[in-house]
Amino acid sequence: MATAAPPLKDELDIVIPTIRNLDFLEMWRPFFEPYHLIIVQDGDPTKTIKVPEGFDYELYNRNDINKILGPKSSCISFKDSACRCFGYMVSKKKYIFTIDDDCFVAKDPSGQQINALQQHIKNLLCPSTPLFFNTLYDPFREGADFVRGYPFSLREGVPTAVSHGLWMNIPDYDAPTQLVKPLERNTRYVDAVLTIPKGTLFPMCGMNLAFDRDLIGPAMYFGLMGDGQPIGRYDDMWAGWCIKVICDHLGLGVKTGLPYIWHSKASNPFVNLKKEYNGIFWQEEIIPFFQSATLSKDSTSVQKCYIELAKQVREKLGKIDPYFVKLADAMETWIQAWDELNPPKAN
């Protein structure tokens, strides 16, 4: 009996940032092996990263990034998992799934292994409902629907740009919460997918994330973090705030919930506190900035939206710290580099 081809086999890349050998892929082999991997090696480019046999992959280290982007490589973070967004830029596929190398296969309450990638694909391929909240969660799921009182004019939903998955075991906490609750583990499996409503921001975690590159790719920039920067661990947050403002403007949806992965190890809370220290203060001004950010009618593409947002970051957040002027410049450089590697398709 012929087995069905894996969904989106030729339309999806798996992007993994790493500094170590990728033994964790063995566990994911049944789910990932049919797909193409893009590995972004952080840290020392002379180190050899071992990838298990049988995977189809390309690997980029810092030297490769510098060679491909030239002076524009300054927009790609070093010594921080934010470097993963280089993989988004060089991909030629419509969809991206990105996962960290300390994320293992989780099990659902019945003990079945969870194929996280398959669930992300389901999330991306059916619409989102950001304009009106459905109390029975995702109405497009089997066994659910729109509830009484849901306007029929909004039941078509909007295209889904982002699918944000969650984590069993080690929750994605900030350093102060880690310090206060060092032994806390997430054991609750909530069998639900929700659309994040229009006008609502969320903290996006990059360790179990999928998105439609054609719909939102150019906005998935993970900022300037790590080496030489005054902040770390806000790379995915920054991208999440930017994509949400842009998705709201362009009429796209963002889902969160399933799938779960098993997050195997907690990072050091003291190291994290050093990285997050500025961000914890700055976010109290960054969040209101994004909550009130509006984009003009002329911003009809993700690139135009992103450039307009970069200008606002420079004008408004530049007053908090010179870092934000540098970040706004990097946002513009990122778009130039994206467009060079991804020239617009002729209609």
The gap from C-alpha 325 to its chain's centroid, in whole angstroms, comes to 23
As given in the structure block, the two tokens for residue 215 are: 């719909």
Cα 240-88-23 angle, rounded to 5 deg: 100
As given in the structure block, the two tokens for residue 155 are: 């039941």
The gap from C-alpha 35 to its chain's centroid, in whole angstroms, comes to 18
Does the pTM surpass 0.95? The reply is: yes
Side chain identity at residue 27, one-letter code: M
Sole residue written with tokens 């304009």: 131
Query: Could you read off the pLDDT tens digit of each residue along the chain, which spans 347 residues?
Result: 556 788 999 999 999 999 999 999 999 999 999 999 999 999 999 999 999 999 999 999 999 999 999 999 999 999 999 999 999 999 999 999 999 999 999 999 999 999 999 999 999 999 999 999 999 999 999 999 999 999 999 999 999 999 999 999 999 999 999 999 999 999 999 999 999 999 999 999 999 999 999 999 999 999 999 999 999 999 999 999 999 999 999 999 999 999 999 999 999 999 999 999 999 999 999 999 999 999 999 999 999 999 999 999 999 999 999 999 999 999 999 999 999 999 987 65
What's residue 4's pLDDT? 76
Rounded-to-integer distance, Cα 247 and Cα 268, Å: 33
Rounded-to-integer distance, Cα 38 and Cα 27, Å: 18
CA distances from 248 to 149, 155, 160 (A): 23, 17, 11
User: Which one-letter DSSP state was computed for residue 211?
Assistant: E
What's residue 5's pLDDT? 84
What's residue 344's pLDDT? 82
Closest among 184, 190, 156, 160 to 172, alpha carbons compared:
184
Number of C-alpha atoms within 13 angstroms, CB side, residue 41? 20
Q: In 10 A of CB 16, how many CB atoms?
A: 27
Q: In 10 A of CB 273, how many CB atoms?
A: 16
As given in the structure block, the two tokens for residue 150 are: 């849901």
What is the three-class DSSP state of 270? helix
Closest among 6, 53, 46 to 25, alpha carbons compared:
53
